[in-house]
């Protein structure tokens, strides 16, 4: 970014500071004419087609927002494009159980113009992805995914907005290969998106007046991507000629406090200044359809100028105290009504998903203990079982789980998805952190100090610990003493990673990766994979000794 953004006030986004020059591809039929072009965008939808229990987000309300903006822009003689930064899949059971059919079909009804292919589009076998591709009335784009030596998706799409040619290039993180089941991506190669962009952008500059990249690569401030693959900032710096990057994957509102400093405490409704790198604007709209991003541009004589940018909250609410000492949820902004036709369309899928929650996913020989009084006071077989499920999904060396995140037991006998959701009702996502031995030991010392009876009290898997008076006296990982020179992978949930329950905040650690997988989905899959489950195999025994 060439101009330091000392405040998120949109008044700083003066017209003279927002101009990016483009090279016209040929015919100058737009000379001396100003085109109003609005780019709407979302990303990391993750199955949230239906509003949550507080009435937040949901695609029916999103359609109302999009329709309103489109009407406003059209009335002013302008044009709109609606783009997604990918990851439609994986998030809530009602969607997961139906292969995200309600999500893709609703996005078609909303009128998405294109989307980037996300890594979670490969969570299920390729035939499911191809089925989803058929449900989508818009192109799924990725230039860097190859199947048997050929591009698996269209690399880009071209749009004609009243004579102005716009190219939308799709790119997917090359971390995808290590984030999904290897058996499901045989013959598929995820090449470097930056290398593919470097080849294609010069070509697109000859074809288009405006070049937009719809990406699923992540936004890492100042390019500090840690163990993640390089993201949007790194690509913008490496590849000249991109006007706008509509991103996803890292699931942030990209609102900058200053040059290369993102506001990670962004509050809905506040002004939002997008990132700027090497002439390219970079935007991202958090996750789950919580916002619709709106970027209003003017195109005149080859110059592409950002006039205004905002994140429109979709019925997001905050908790406030009431006069009687209780709390209630109130909206950050004026409530957005749901589109009636789309809600009716989606309700059939919501009802079907609810019915399918009762379907058996596995069987248990005996109860896995998650009752509050027990799981918060001593190691339990459910704590071990959950930890092993987390380790299995992330290939981690050990797992730490806050017992307050475990809300119920798994019963003996048939286990349904609804039973699993009683254990994990919060929708936390699975994360892992690659830690040097010394840092892994320090984290275990903190976990050991969490007192029985509290929600922070830790359940473990993959370790042997001896704790005396709340102090860790001995720790083994994988049966061996911790080696300070070795790197260990720890599986935790996103709540703990954010500092929840008083644990060290790790979501900014260079070794941190949020997989995006919801805890209940991971537990369900682990139950199904190992059924019939012999509960005796998960008895904690003397692995964690407290004196």
8 Å CB contact between 499 and 505: yes
According to DSSP, residue 407 is labeled -
Q: Which of 376, 381, 493, 519 is catalytic?
A: 376
Instruction: Give catalytic status of residue 252 as yes or no.
Output: no
Q: Which of 251, 350, 402, 459 is catalytic?
A: 251
Instruction: Give catalytic status of residue 372 as yes or no.
Output: yes
Instruction: Give catalytic status of residue 120 as yes or no.
Output: yes
Q: Which of 44, 99, 397, 434 is catalytic?
A: 44
Q: List the beta strands (DSSP E) in 303-392.
A: 303-313, 317-321, 327-331, 360-364
Q: Which of 70, 372, 449, 509 is catalytic?
A: 372
Instruction: Give catalytic status of residue 378 as yes or no.
Output: no
Contacts 24+ apart (CB under 8 A), 368-374: 368/409, 368/410, 368/535, 368/538, 369/409, 370/406, 370/407, 370/408, 370/409, 370/410, 370/423, 371/408, 371/409, 372/407
Instruction: Give catalytic status of residue 181 as yes or no.
Output: no
Q: Which of 216, 262, 286, 464 is catalytic?
A: 216
Q: Which of 41, 48, 105, 120 is catalytic?
A: 120
Tokens of 98: 């139906």
Q: Report the candidate in 438, 345, 325 with the shortest Cα–Cα distance to residue 108.
A: 345
Angle at 174 between CA 170 and CA 176, to 5 degrees: 100
Q: Which of 249, 276, 286, 464 is catalytic?
A: 249
Tokens of 14: 């003066």
Q: Which of 43, 62, 89, 119 is catalytic?
A: 119
Instruction: Give catalytic status of residue 46 as yes or no.
Output: yes
Q: Which of 41, 45, 46, 262 is catalytic?
A: 46
Q: How many CA atoms lie within 13 A of 12 on its CB side?
A: 15
Angle at 45 between CA 113 and CA 54, to 5 degrees: 125
Q: Which of 407, 418, 466, 530 is catalytic?
A: 407
Q: Which of 99, 103, 123, 519 is catalytic?
A: 123
Instruction: Give catalytic status of residue 186 as yes or no.
Output: no
Instruction: Give catalytic status of residue 123 as yes or no.
Output: yes
Do strands 140-141 and 327-331 pair parallel, antiparallel, or not at all (unpaired)? unpaired
DSSP string for 436-503: EHHHHHHHHHHHHTSPTTSTT-EEEESEEEEEETTEEEEEEETTEEPPTTSEEEEEEEHHHHTTGGGP
Tell me if the bond preceding 532 is cis, omega within 30° of 0.
yes
Instruction: Give catalytic status of residue 44 as yes or no.
Output: yes
Active site residues: 44, 46, 87, 119-120, 123, 216, 249, 251, 372, 376, 407
């Amino acid at each position: 970014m060439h101009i330091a953004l000392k405040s998120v006030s949109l008044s700083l986004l003066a017209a003279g500071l927002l101009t990016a020059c483009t090279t016209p591809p040929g015919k100058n039929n737009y000379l001396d004419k100003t085109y109003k072009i609005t780019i709407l965008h979302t990303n990391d939808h993750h199955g949230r087609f239906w509003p949550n229990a507080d009435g937040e987000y949901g695609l029916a309300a999103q359609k109302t927002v999009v329709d309103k903006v489109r009407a406003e822009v059209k009335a002013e003689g302008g044009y709109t494009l609606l783009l997604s930064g990918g990851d439609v899949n994986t998030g809530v059971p009602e969607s997961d159980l139906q292969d995200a059919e309600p999500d893709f079909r609703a996005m078609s009804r909303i009128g998405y113009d294109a989307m980037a292919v996300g890594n979670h589009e490969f969570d299920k076998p390729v035939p499911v992805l191809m089925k989803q591709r058929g449900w989508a009335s818009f192109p799924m784009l990725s230039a860097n995914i190859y199947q048997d030596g050929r591009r698996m998706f269209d690399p880009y799409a071209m749009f004609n907005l009243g004579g102005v040619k716009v190219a939308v290039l799709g790119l997917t993180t090359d971390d995808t290969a290590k984030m999904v089941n290897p058996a499901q991506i045989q013959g598929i190669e995820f090449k470097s998106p930056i290398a593919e962009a470097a080849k294609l952008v010069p070509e697109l500059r000859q074809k288009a007046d405006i070049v937009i990249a719809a990406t699923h690569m992540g936004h890492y401030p100042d390019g500090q991507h840690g163990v993640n693959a390089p993201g949007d900032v790194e690509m913008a710096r490496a590849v000249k000629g991109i006007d706008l990057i509509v991103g996803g994957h890292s699931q942030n509102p990209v609102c900058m406090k200053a040059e290369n400093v993102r506001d990670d405490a962004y509050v809905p409704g506040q002004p939002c200044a997008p990132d700027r790198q090497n002439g390219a604007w970079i935007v991202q709209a958090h996750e789950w359809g919580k916002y619709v991003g709106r970027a209003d541009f003017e195109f005149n004589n080859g110059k592409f100028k950002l006039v205004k940018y905002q994140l429109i909250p979709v019925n997001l609410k905050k908790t406030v105290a009431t006069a009687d000492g209780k709390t209630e949820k109130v909206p950050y902004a004026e409530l957005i009504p749901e589109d009636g036709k789309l809600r009716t369309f989606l309700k059939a899928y919501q009802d079907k998903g609810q019915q399918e929650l009762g379907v058996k996913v596995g069987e248990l020989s005996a109860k896995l203990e998650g009752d509050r009084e027990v799981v918060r006071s001593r190691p339990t077989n459910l704590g071990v079982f959950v930890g092993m499920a987390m380790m299995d999904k992330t290939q981690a060396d050990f797992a730490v789980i806050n017992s307050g995140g475990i809300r119920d037991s798994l019963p003996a006998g048939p286990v349904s998805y609804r039973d699993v959701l009683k254990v994990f009702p919060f929708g936390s996502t699975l994360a892992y952190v690659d830690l040097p031995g010394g840092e892994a030991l320090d984290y275990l010392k903190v976990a050991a100090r969490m007192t029985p009876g509290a929600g922070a009290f830790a359940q473990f898997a993959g370790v042997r610990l001896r704790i005396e008076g709340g102090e860790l006296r001995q720790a083994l990982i994988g049966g061996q003493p911790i080696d300070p020179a070795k790197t260990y992978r720890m599986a935790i949930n996103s709540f703990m990673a954010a500092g929840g329950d008083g644990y060290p905040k790790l979501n900014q650690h260079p070794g941190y990766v949020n997989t995006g997988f919801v805890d209940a989905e991971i537990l369900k899959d682990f139950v199904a994979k190992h059924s019939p489950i012999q509960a005796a195999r998960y008895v904690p025994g003397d692995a964690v000794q407290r004196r």
